[in-house]
Amino acid sequence: MSSGHHVPTIGMCVRVWLALLVLTGFTIFIASQDLGVLNTPVALLVAITKATLVIVFFMGVKWNTPLTKTVAVSGFVWLLILFFMGMNDYLTRGWLGVAGR
């Protein structure tokens, strides 16, 4: 975008790339470990970290305008609305009884 004057330096790109590689290695490692109930949360946490690195550094959101940041964040907020209000159904199905159900 025209308003982003700063661009990531080569060094920074390389460091982010290395971090992504390390996290990928970690993903492969934990896939072979049984963490019980933590299996999915840990995998998701690693995936979210990787996605955040890509969005913030490789896609240049860090150096962009507040408007771009708002757009980037609101996309995820809307996804959270879907999850939150959806889970507000799935996790509460036993809370209130219905006659005949």
Partner 1 sequence: MKEADVQQEPSYLGAPYGLASWLLTKDHKRIAILYLISITIFFAIGGSFAAMIRAELVTPQGDFLTADLYNKVFTLHGVVMIFFFLIPSIPATLGNFFMPIMIGAKDLAFPRINLLSWYIYVVGATLTLAAVIMGGVDTGWTFYTPYSSISSTTNVTTAALGVFITGFSSILTGFNFIVTVHRMRAPGMTWFRMPLFVWANYATSLVMILGTPVIAITVLLIAAERALHLGVFDPRIGGDPVLFQHLFWFYSHPAVYIMILPGMGVISELVANVSRKQIFGYSFVAFSSLAIAIIGFLVWGHHMFVTGQSIYAGLVFSIITMLVAVPSAVKTFNWTATMYKGAVVWDSPLFWVLGFMGLFLIGGLTGLFLGAMGLDIHLHDTYFVVAHFHYIMVGGGVMAFLGGLHFYWPKMTGRMYSEPLAKVASMLVFFGFNLTFFPQFIVGYMGMPRRYHSYPAEFQVFNVLSTAGATVLGAGYLMILLYLVYSIVKGPKAPMNPWGATGLEWKIQSPPITHNFHETPVVTEEAYDYLHAPAPTREVTHHE
Nearest distance from C-beta of residue 44 to partner 1, angstroms? 19
Could you say whether residue 67 binds partner 1 (CB under 8 A)?
Answer: yes
CB-CB contact of 6 with 51 (8 Å): no
**Cα separations (Å) of 86 from 13, 24, 36?**
37, 30, 25
Nearest distance from C-beta of residue 16 to partner 1, angstroms? 26
Q: Which is nearer to partner 1, 17 or 78 (CB)?
A: 78
Could you say whether residue 78 binds partner 1 (CB under 8 A)?
Answer: yes
Q: Which two tokens stand for residue 48?
A: 């979210």
Question: Residues 26, 27, 32, 33: is their CA dihedral positive or negative?
Answer: positive
Could you say whether residue 34 binds partner 1 (CB under 8 A)?
Answer: no
**Which stretch in 5-13, 18-26, 38-46, 83-91 sits in contact with partner 1 by CB under 8 A?**
83-91
Tell me the C-alpha distance between 53 and 23, whole Å.
11
Among 28, 37, 82, 100, binds partner 1 (CB under 8 A): 82
